[in-house]
Amino acid sequence: MSKADIRPPVNIKIASMIDLARMLVSWSQRDRPASMLHFEHNGKHIYGTLISNHGYYEMYGLPLWVYVETDEPPAGSFLAYKSRPKEEVGFVDIVEAEPMVLHLPVVNLAEKLEILDL
């Protein structure tokens, strides 16, 4: 298989960072721990993850790139998602044992993934 044989994943642009965090948290509880990829592209900061929608009709899965664009770089190594008493997200550098807070690692890439069609 060559690079020319690899098709880009389907892009799903999410409305906000809290929506992306909510999606990653829900997936991490079903499949595997979720991490978030970050890179800068065309002056924007892109945060997202590559996943596969298993059992997509007769295919083995539909590859998805789920992402959000912002103007700001990450202000920490983890995105902390808190669901109660009020839903909120924020970047932190240290994972602290807090009830009802899930920490998603942010993986900084040197550049945009080659297979993404942005």
Q: Mean pLDDT per segment of 10 residues, for the chain of length 118 residues?
A: 77 95 80 83 95 70 90 95 90 86 93 87
Give yes or no for a cis peptide into 105 (omega within 30° of 0).
Answer: no
User: Residue 109 has which token pair?
Assistant: 């890439």
Work out the burial of residue 28: count CB atoms within 10 Å of its CB; fewer than 13 is exposed, 13-18 middle, 19 or more buried. middle
pLDDT of 99 reads 76
Strands 36-41, 10-13: pairing kind? unpaired
Question: Token match 């690899």: residue?
Answer: 6
Write down the domain spans for the chain: 6-108
53: tokens are 């929608």
pTM: 0.86
